[in-house]
Amino acid sequence: MNVLLILFSLFFTPPKSVYDFKIKTIDGKEVSLARFKGKKLLIVNTASKCGYTPQYEALEKLHKQYGKNVVLIGFPAGNFGDQELATNTEIQDFCKKNFGVTFLLSEKVSVKGADIDPLFAYLTSQENPDFKGDISWNFEKFLINEKGKLVHRFRSKVAPLDPAITSNF
């Protein structure tokens, strides 16, 4: 049994930070989050047909105002009431046309359940001063510090430009 544990640890190292993850952008490019070392990250699970969808406008303002110090990444997901469009192309077109989104978007992912994206499995299990556990709805926000550690988590109702978020920039 110990031999199996040793072999497992040789081939699988648990992530130490978000910098151990790679994402695929909405246009199909692979991006290592390690590229953003030294900057804060704001990670948001998004949806195009949700009551919180107008937060895209504030997210874009946040990106323009704080983009030199904070990397904003939206992760479209259809986990809650199937409120996300079907394809990455549809999502990208919707975000640009309706909200002028220029911040980084990932491909459509799952943020909850058996098919949860590994990054969100990691984020929802990390200790932080706010709360941990499953995402409960669209537009939850995860604030990562310059060292790749989750430092705050915000529920959907917290607006992107709320001082609870922006005071950390």
Compute the distance between CA of residue 122 and CA of residue 19 in angstroms, rounded to an integer: 11
Contact call for residues 159 and 58 (beta carbons, < 8 A): yes
112-120 contacts, C-beta under 8 A, 24 or more apart: 112/77, 112/79, 113/79, 117/75, 118/21, 119/18, 119/21, 119/23, 119/33, 119/43, 119/75, 120/45, 120/75
**Short-list 46, 72, 52, CA closest to 165:** 72
Compute the distance between CA of residue 41 and CA of residue 18 in angstroms, rounded to an integer: 9
Residue 95 catalytic? Answer: no
Find the catalytic residue in 33, 44, 50, 123: 50
Contact call for residues 126 and 150 (beta carbons, < 8 A): yes
**Which sequence positions are flagged as catalytic?**
50
